[in-house]
A and B are shown apart, each in its own frame.
Chain A
């Protein structure tokens, strides 16, 4: 594939990622996108450069008198041993798990509706109201139309989906702000697997969708 993703997180999200100010779930989605997007890595590095400049601009604080001595005394202490590299987990047969997800995806796919299954991620430091999950949607299946009370960020890991805003393939990020409504459809071919983070509960439309909502846990 000569081109990278074509749908990117907005620059304000990349800046907040560089600043370390995104929620755990949003940061995971952005990191997954960065793993395959040199363009956004460069923008993020620019943000980190801003962080470096801000650090240089800080007025020095008073350190404890023995601060340097304490640091020097610790230099030769052995560092904690690095964790052994484990085998690369898979999202599905022949489909490697993106690196940022290696240690945070546990548990099997759980059925939530015909053609739809989910793995919920339990992230350390997730903020209240934030839900992070992998969603697998069978080719041609449609998610219930829904709106958002908070931001929703999605990164496609396999397959494709489309909604009124465009078609999203592997590595693409869909950014939905509060107030947006959409009805994603998995494109024919292979199952569409996405990493999704939502803030605030979704607003489901229609009776079926509202019945499904507790199952989806969104």
Chain B
């Protein structure tokens, strides 16, 4: 069994290399209906479309700045990080795969990693610009039901179905450095309750996303 299990890690390694090498798997675009943001991003990826970048910048850079500021970054630095994130969007556009994530989700993960890198540089001057631990290999999940997890409109709808308390702990998890302890303090509930409430919220979120869709996907 161990021989086999070792092979598993090796396989993931080689698959990751493939995904990085030919960034967008052939045919994946056709499998997913594209929203406006995805069309813009693919225009950047395929023909370095600067006008598309202008539109994406206008839409996302100000929101990124807000997000960095809410996550505790001062205004000037937040503006720099928003710039860096949008530059990374331009440079890595060919690794965007609409079958795996919505555009906002993809940009969020870049911003998240920018923030982690920035914090690490503060904590210690040693350069460690692309620690792979924060970019885990992401082969497409084999379970088709997980497809819904990529759809931001459906996630938004699922979040709206949570109780206010559950939605609150999920939001706080994104904005606090020591999420559980800070949530404990902010909401005045014990740590064990924070963890169980978060777990329950995640289970309900997954359940809502697994429900069959009644309407067509986003336009």
Contacts and interface: CB of A to CB of B under 8 A. Distances in A.
B108 A21 contact: no
Given A44-B136, A45-B101, 19 more contacts: A1-B5, A12-B194, A15-B170, A21-B178, A36-B8, A42-B146, A45-B141, A46-B209, A49-B102, A50-B159, A53-B104, A61-B65, A63-B65, A68-B58, A71-B83, A71-B87, A95-B6, A159-B2, A190-B2
Nearest to B203: A11
A158 B2 contact: yes
B202 A11 contact: yes
A46 B113 CA distance: 17
A36 B9 contact: yes
B61 A67 contact: yes
B131 interface: yes
Given A58-B70, A125-B119, A19 B179 contact: yes
Given A1-B1, A42-B141, A71-B57, A50 B155 contact: yes
B190 to A, nearest CB: 12
B185 interface: no
A16 B174 CA distance: 7
Contacts of B141: 38-39, 41-42, 45
Contacts of A43: 202, 206
B143 A42 contact: yes
Chain B residues touching A, majority SS: helix
B8 A1 contact: yes
A102 interface: yes
Contacts of A98: 9
B142 interface: yes
By size class, the interface of chain A is 35 or more
Contact of A88 (B13, B62, B82, B138): B13
Contacts of B194: 12
B7 to A, nearest CB: 7
Contacts of A35: 9, 12, 136-137
B136 A52 contact: no
Interface string B118-149: 01100110101111111011110111001001
B93 to A, nearest CB: 11
A75 B155 contact: no
Contact of B10 (A74, A96, A104, A126): A96
Interface string B147-184: 00111100110010000000000110110111110000
A49 B149 contact: yes
Contacts of A46: 146, 149, 155, 202, 205-206, 209
A79 B138 CA distance: 23
Interface in A53-83: 53-56, 58-64, 67-68, 70-72, 74-75, 79-80, 83
Contacts of A36: 8-9, 12
B28 interface: no
22 contacts: A15-B173, A19-B112, A20-B116, A27-B134, A34-B136, A49-B150, A49-B151, A49-B152, A51-B105, A52-B103, A52-B107, A53-B159, A56-B156, A61-B62, A61-B63, A61-B75, A61-B78, A71-B87, A99-B9, A99-B132, A100-B133, A125-B119
Contacts of B150: 45, 49
Given A51-B109, A52-B152, A99-B13, A58 B63 contact: yes
B138 A45 contact: yes
A9 to B, nearest CB: 11
Contacts of B62: 60-63
A10 interface: yes
Given A60-B62, A96-B10, A31 B132 contact: yes
B67 to A, nearest CB: 5
